[in-house]
A and B are shown apart, each in its own frame.
Chain A
């Protein structure tokens, strides 16, 4: 170990360099996004499922919807309260949540997920 000093110095520089982003951003964590509800969504008060369930599981629920609509031709969704909804992203979800930029995108951008729903489904179908 003739070059002990050089190696240790190099290691120190290396570790400092790769951990730089963590030091640089320390204490500056991006705040969790606030989603905005449209007037219609606020008036409805409840979504198809409880809010906490929707926050955590809306992707799984959409997957169930998609599967049942295309594969089984079943389009009616009855929630725990016995309320009936049509399983349609464009016509049911987006009917209330017509503000994609303030509702969907805020969380998706924060979580760095890029769902491709909108390549086909028309956001804001009512054109508000």
Chain B
């Protein structure tokens, strides 16, 4: 046997070193959510949901003019650079589209003409199974466990645009240039973005956190409803129960959380 006294002492020595290193490693690992004497918590007014969802009553939209205040409300609140003229550099969080572009898999030859020519507001669908999140190499975009919002951490975005390629709804825009000179009216309470990051609708996470409904919902005169998809008695669930709704590209299996009453 080679398990001599010499060998035993070697192992004992290395073990002692390991035990001694533990407190040092602990000291390095310290520091996270809790610091000296402080703690963080959720705001008192914050609204909660398992999965936020939106139901859009498109019967209330007849022309672009009906959508304009809704889109404008979002643009103003979130410092969207609307003055960019180059269409390829356009930034949009909520925008208007034709039926054929919105519902590419639901275009029969002879559609109800009134429905076909309605303006449809499109935005990030905050999918329950978001492909953009899987594509992001830095976890800059993520699905928030708490409320199901697909959110972006702009600090982390490296501008690789994988998420834009992954999103089947075209809901993401890239800042090809510094957006600041193109913001018509700056809302000082909300940050802008910088050149080189992707952005998209955030379901007004910053407003939900202080107990307000999303800006577009407030500006819609009841055409947009917002609530918890998994609360049986929420406004959106009541609407879904009573109306026939469709979703965009449902067959892809991303489970969009934005429903359209047609």
Interface residues of A (CB under 8 A from B): 48-49, 53, 57, 60-61, 64-68, 70-80, 86-87, 90-91, 116, 119-122, 125-127
Given A90-B188, A120-B191, A122-B188: A73 and B209 interface contact (C-beta under 8 Å)? yes
Are A70 and B192 in contact, with the CB atoms below 8 A?
no
Asked whether any CB of chain A lies closer than 8 Å to the CB of B46, the reply is yes
Q: How large is the interface on B (under 10, 10 to 19, 20 to 34, 35 or more residues)?
A: 20 to 34
A80 to chain B, nearest CB (A): 3
Chain B binding surface SS class = loop
Nearest residue, chain B, Cβ from A48: B38
Contact of A71 among B32, B38, B144 (CB under 8 A): B144
Interface residues of B (CB under 8 A from A): 31-33, 35-44, 46, 142, 144, 146-147, 151, 153-155, 186, 188-195, 205, 209-210
Q: In the bound complex, do residue A74 and residue B193 qualify as a contact, i.e. CB atoms below 8 Å apart?
A: no
Known A60-B31, A64-B35; further 14 A-B contacts with Cβ < 8 A: A67-B33, A68-B40, A70-B151, A71-B144, A73-B205, A75-B42, A76-B40, A77-B38, A79-B37, A79-B38, A120-B154, A120-B192, A121-B191, A122-B188
Structural contact, A87 and B144, CB atoms closer than 8 A? no
Closest to A123 in B: B188
CA distance A68 to B63 in the complex (A): 41
